Structure 1
Amino acid sequence: MSGTEYDVLIVGSGPGGGAALQRLCQLWKKQGAKKIGILEKGDKLFHSHGQNIPTQNVNTSRDQLIAYNSTTIGDRLPQFSGARMIYALGGRSLLWNCATPRPIDEELRKWPIHPRELDVYYRTAERLLHVTTDWAKGSSLQEQMLRRLHGAGILEAQDMPLALDLAPSRQGEVHSNAWYSSINAMAAALFDRPYDLAVDAYVYRVRTQGGKVSGVDVYDADKKSHRIRAKNVVVSASTLETPRLLLNSNIKGDAIGRYLTGHVSMIGIGTVSRRQFSDRLGNLSILKFETEDDPYQIQILGPDQYWSYQQFEDKALKDQLMIVYATFGRVEPRRENRVYIDQSQKDEYGVPMQQVQYSLSNKDRQTAEQVEQGIRKSAAAMGVTLDESSLVLRPPGADMHEASTCRMGNDPATSATNPHGQIHGVQGLYVADNSVLPTLTAAGPTLTGSALAIRLADHIVRQSS
């Protein structure tokens, strides 16, 4: 790759990098002269989302795959102690739970993109991710619990949208990767046009010249450095790693690393008697959507591990069914919450590490109280007995939803990129991961990050024509 000059070079293979790659290959399908490359710091882990592996169910994926295949970086980030990274081809998209709600409209109207344009790219991303609300279709548990929630006035409870391809394999067309990861996007890209891919490729510097990007410097697994030239560089390394790379590259910008935002998160666990439901029990997949009055979402999942399990597994249900309430509340975007470089700590390659300054405001703590009240209200409506010991606020970063450290906007004083995702003042240098989100609502960031990455790819193609 060091002998090639790329039209677009993508750093990171998570949801943003994968979506940008797929769109570029789709739009440049007939343009053989275009050169596209993608670089991944990690190695190959598995060629699919973890839920597609025949030996896994949702419990083992969470308790084993994530634990064995991730790096707990919160140990050295005391104010963001729940942080965990997955360095592998596909990144966190290999192990996410695939919930894909859109952010609340009231917030999107404040973003520097027209709502009609945003809607186009959300719909495009939803097609790429095969978003569906049919996961629990026909389940008596789902139907009864929704009726109970609506009867109690919790009208925001609906079938949960998931990035899940429910099409059957038939007539030679194989749909074996039902749960979405960016591996799906990379596969779609590969069948549109060839691109270059390198794993164990640690990008440690972005190079610029005369206000334009010129390429990147990369370490391979043997710690040998390579320089790769590119007309456009798209950084999709993650909310914590992207600002680290930009700051270590001396990219100027007052807002780079600022406005780090996560969720206040709590996991409630309860039980309900199986006798209340018919034999057509099915699974439970409900999302209580965010509202202006309730700045949080609740994912209601169950029963037990059978929210997602393999066809080989006997569905042995106890008299008491376990129901899980996974909650995510909004956190105020504040400039003082940030990722910065700590020159006193360096990695094995001698590159300075990042450190995090992060705290919750009084309003954030009030939201956390609303989250707990929301769990209690939902459980009471559903007839679920809560385990009180489970209602504990998770440490910052444990939700793995951090965003906004390179957020887009029109003012370089409060944003790192312009509304197209280009770093202010550096032609051809873009960001396409959760760090570019202007704000983080209670919705998880993956769908939005994918939509913005597709939009960015369209912009690059227009600029390159």
Structure 2
Amino acid sequence: MRIYVAKDGDTLSRIAEQFNITIESLLSLNAQIGSPGQLLSGEPIYLPTHTMSREYRTASPFGNLQCPVPWFPTMPPEEMEKNEYDVIIVGTGAGGGAVLWRLCEQWGANGKRIGVVEAGDLTAPTHAANLPYFNADLYTYTGQSHPQFPGTRQVIAFGGRTLLWGLISPRVPDFALAEWPVPVNEMKAYYNIAEKLMSVTQNFQNNSSLQEMLLGRLQNHGFLEAQYAPIAADLTPTKYGVVHSNVFFSSIQCFASGIYRRPFDLAVRSRAVQVYLENGRAAGVRVMQPDGKSYVIRSKTIVLSAGALENPRILLNSGIEGRAIGHYLTGHTYVRARGKIETKDFPDMLGTLDILIPQTQDRPFQIQIDGPYGPDWFVMYQQYKERPFRDDWEITLYGFGKTQSRYENRVAIDPLRRDQYGIPLIQIDFSYSDQDLEIRRQAANTLQQAAAAIGVPIVAQEGEPAIQVVPPGGDQHESGTCRMGHDPDTSTTNPYGQVHGVPGLYAADLSVLPTLNAANPTLSVVALAIRTADYIVSQNGS
């Protein structure tokens, strides 16, 4: 973090422009400042570590928008306002990227017009694990101040959370899918498409002595379901002149693949705040930029992929009615522990470690185990310039528990507080049920048993308990606030993601999950988003 002393006439808005930082990032680092337009002469202002003043910015070859790394074509929202689109996608995370990719694939080079709006900016062109220079300050986090959901945070950037997600990509088991309003066989078909798109593989840990030995220990101690964790990693070797350097999946790959098939328009630093309807159906979306300017972009179809916290805020701020909008907020119960394993029993080349003990009907939680060279290897490289020889390595165990979908857990708009755009902020009401807490207790006990089975004593670190209970929201898997279903009283969208009673308005991200089982949800989000895109194509012609 850096400190900049404001000059005469400086405001947060001017500083954001000067250093090419999003206003959201500045506000989150400088909570003592009430307004982006407040005069700040002489005030110390906190800046992210990596910033670039406008004197050193590179002009983008794709238009008037300037950014430090001009690696993707963008269009200012004032230009998009002049057009009428067939589809506007709000948000560029897993759901928005999958919808865009599928529409581009299905529509090809026809005359349909697609637009995308993203609240964040271009930050990095790939998943963090593909970058040896990774530093979290490259990304824009917006912290939330919600006492009942204190662990949550948002990544406001092109690519969203897929820039940083953990890459574990299991399917929801069939017995749990049976509770969803989507036929199980149909869901399996879309899982197949999603796994191909994301390059999901169970071969990432092949030939790892650490993986094989610890997996064997687990199975010998009764964890018969323990398996190689499915990882979203492209292991295709270089051939035919194609170099596969972008190994770990992010939604940016969807946008790159999509634009290869057909053009679309992308506006960054453009936060969607309101949906407009005409004669009861979707007609457009209003977006705002950090300078306070507002634009209305017309479209026949709108897909909200802004996340389980932002989607209901947009819907409620638009006056769209629905008993379930914002309700049924869910998030995993989450525990984790760390221990160390001695290296004397293993060859010099340990290899990577990513083991999954999946949810079963009798065990409504899953356990993950990863180690020194797993997808989190970039964290190690922040700590060591060279990989040192050590007598032991740290192993991390995680437990994710299924939670109940309850009406009283909700996202609502705050009647008193507004953000820098003048839009109502959200307030969150959330608590775990007794059943949720019992499942968390079971997960913690099983995590201890798994640690004992693999010979990794769990140790407390830095004054924290040996098994840490992560606060609500800390799993970053919040979902359910626009859940799918047949009944408008208990769901916001129909089984294809269309908002009940509003033709042309859809949601496609974590918010639509009807239940949150123990499995990591990104693969399911991508599969459902592809299915929603296919439905949109069927409703709008080819």
Q: Specify if TM > 0.5.
A: yes
Identity %: 46
Partner of 1:400: 476
Counterpart for residue 77 of structure 2 = none
Amino acid at match of 1:148: R
Aligned position for 1:13: 92
Q: Between the two structures, name the one with larger relative contact order (CA 8 Å, sep ≥ 6).
A: 1
- Local SS of the residue matching 2:277: strand
CA-atom RMSD in angstroms: 1.6
Alpha carbons 1:404, 1:437 under 8 Å: kept? yes
Is 270-279 or 192-201 further displaced after alignment?
270-279
Q: 2:122 matched to 1:50?
A: no
Deviation larger for 388-397 or 210-219? 388-397
Partner residue in 1 for 2:147:
78
Matches within 5 A, 1:300-379: 300-303=369-372, 308-309=377-378, 314-379=386-451
SS at match of 2:153: coil
Asked whether the 8 Å contact 2:271–2:289 carries over to 1, the reply is yes
For the residue of structure 2 that corresponds to 1:373, the secondary structure is helix
Q: Does residue 1:240 correspond to 2:319, yes or no?
A: no
Distance 1:306 1:434, change over 3 A: closer
Contact 1:408 1:421 in 2 (8 A): yes
Match of 1:443 in 2: 519
Distance 2:233 2:515 in 1: 26
Does the 8 A contact of 1:306 with 1:315 survive in 2?
A: no
Shift in Å at residue 65 of structure 1?
4.8
The 2-side partners of 1:452 and 1:399 are apart by 21
- 3-state SS of the aligned residue for 1:455? helix
Out of 260, 285, 296, the residue aligned to residue 191 of structure 1 is 260
Q: Which residue of 2 aligns with 1:113?
A: 182
* Structure 2, unpaired ranges of 5+: 1-79
2:458 maps to 1:386: yes
Which residue type is aligned with residue 493 of structure 2? T
**Shift of residue 313, structure 1, vs aligned partner:** 6.1
- 1:35 maps to 113
Q: Which segments of 5 or more consecutive residues in structure 1 lack a partner in the other structure? A: none
CA deviation profile, 1:112-157 (whole Å, cap 9, x unmatched): 1111110110110001100011111101111111110000010121
Offset at 1:48? 0.6
Whole-angstrom distance in 2 between the partners of 1:48 and 1:242: 25
Residues 306 and 103 (structure 1), Cα distance of their counterparts in 2 relative to 1, 3 Å cut: closer
Deviates more, 1:186-195 or 1:298-307: 298-307
What is the aligned length? Answer: 455
The list of structure 1 runs, each at least 4 consecutive aligned residues, that deviate by more than 4 angstroms after superposition, is 304-307, 309-313
The amino acid that maps onto 2:486 is N
Inter-partner Cα distance in structure 1 for 2:270 and 2:473: 25
- Cα 1:435–1:390, aligned 2, differ >3 Å: closer, same or farther? same
Q: Which amino acid aligns with 2:119?
A: K
Partner of 2:492: 416
User: Structure 2 matches for 1:244-263, cutoff 5 A?
Assistant: 244-263=313-332
8 A contact 1:233–1:428 mirrored in 2: yes
- Whether the 8 Å CA contact 1:284–1:307 is kept in 2: the answer is no
Call closer, same or farther: CA 1:122–1:385 in 2, change over 3 Å.
same
Name the SS of the counterpart of 1:106 in structure 2.
helix
> 2: CA distance between counterparts of 1:35 and 1:420?
21
Structure 2: how far apart are the matches of 1:78 and 1:35?
A: 42
Give the greater-gyration-radius structure (CA): 2
Q: Does 1:172 align with 2:251?
A: no
